Amino acid sequence: MDLGIGGKWAIVCAASKGLGKGSAVALAREGVNLVLNARGVEALEATAAEIRGAYPVQVHTLAGDVSEAPVRARLVAACPAPDILVNNAGGPPRGDFREFNPEDWQKAVNANMITPIELIKAVLDGMLARRFGRIVNITSASVKHPIPELCLSNGARAGLTGFVAGLSRQVARHNVIINNLLPGPFNTDRLRAGIRFNARAAGRSEAEQVEQMQARNPAGRFGSVEEFGAVCAFLCSQHVGFMTGQQVLLDGGAYPGTT
């Protein structure tokens, strides 16, 4: 299927590894030019070089912490008229809520709620004027079924979800489409850190933890970043003009509800 977005420009945040990288690669395969962000320069430049080597698209990089306002300003300056915005940032730390203080909560809310909202604010009016925009927020399956040790994520992402539910309906008539993409377990560094945390807590080996997690997922495995990227690219395509404000869950069927 031709996604109809060749030649467009995308900002992809937190994109040197994992789900952000998978999304960037999938967009490049569709001919989308990219401005990629992450904090670590080395991995960011390696990812940019890999994409440039594989696809005939322009790839620029902007290193820095996307949860900081000056970095966001430089990111938008590097791509002043984006057609696509993929919001992403590292997830907050795991732990019991009693361990976290207001500063921890402020960091989580800043990275996983305020940062995407501020980036949407920076690009939205241009998208409205150009009558094309696709915004995908990478959130988490925890939005549908909160995960006990991820209380910071459960709380912060709920705020973003509520905001997007309202805004997406205000802008859809101008062909600006905003959806949230909710990963379940995908094989990334972040998941591997979770495996180590849960194995330690349960007193089992990491291999046993992996086996148990995969066995209880209806798909019997973890997702791949390629699968994630393909769905992200579709949500950035011409074809989703009538699909907005959705929580698109990619979890192998782990969430058992009908809605």
Taking CB under 6 A as the criterion, the residue among 3, 9, 10, 16 binding ligand NAP is 16
39 token code pair: 């904090």
Q: Which is nearer to ligand NAP, 175 or 246 (CB)?
A: 246
Residue 188 contacts ligand NAP per CB under 6 A: yes
Residue 183 contacts ligand NAP per CB under 6 A: yes
Residue 252 contacts ligand NAP per CB under 6 A: no
132 Cβ partners below 8 Å, 6+ apart?
A: 8, 83, 175, 176
- Residue 184: Cβ within 10 Å count: 22
Q: Which stretch binds ligand NAP (CB under 6 A): 101-109, 127-135, 170-178, 180-188?
A: 180-188
Q: Which is nearer to ligand NAP, 176 or 225 (CB)?
A: 225
Q: Which is nearer to ligand NAP, 67 or 154 (CB)?
A: 67
Footprint of ligand NAP on residues 87-126 (CB under 6 A)? 88-91, 111
> Can you tell me the distance from the alpha carbon of 74 to that of 239, in angstroms, rounded to the nearest whole number?
30
Taking CB under 6 A as the criterion, the residue among 33, 61, 67, 87 binding ligand NAP is 67
- Residue 21: Cβ within 10 Å count: 26
> Can you tell me the distance from the alpha carbon of 161 to that of 118, in angstroms, rounded to the nearest whole number?
14
259 token code pair: 């809605």
Tokens 């001919």 sit on residue: 31
Report helix, strand or coil for 133.
strand
Q: Which residues bind ligand NAP (CB under 6 A)?
A: 14-20, 37-40, 43, 65-67, 88-91, 111, 138, 140-141, 183, 185-186, 188-191
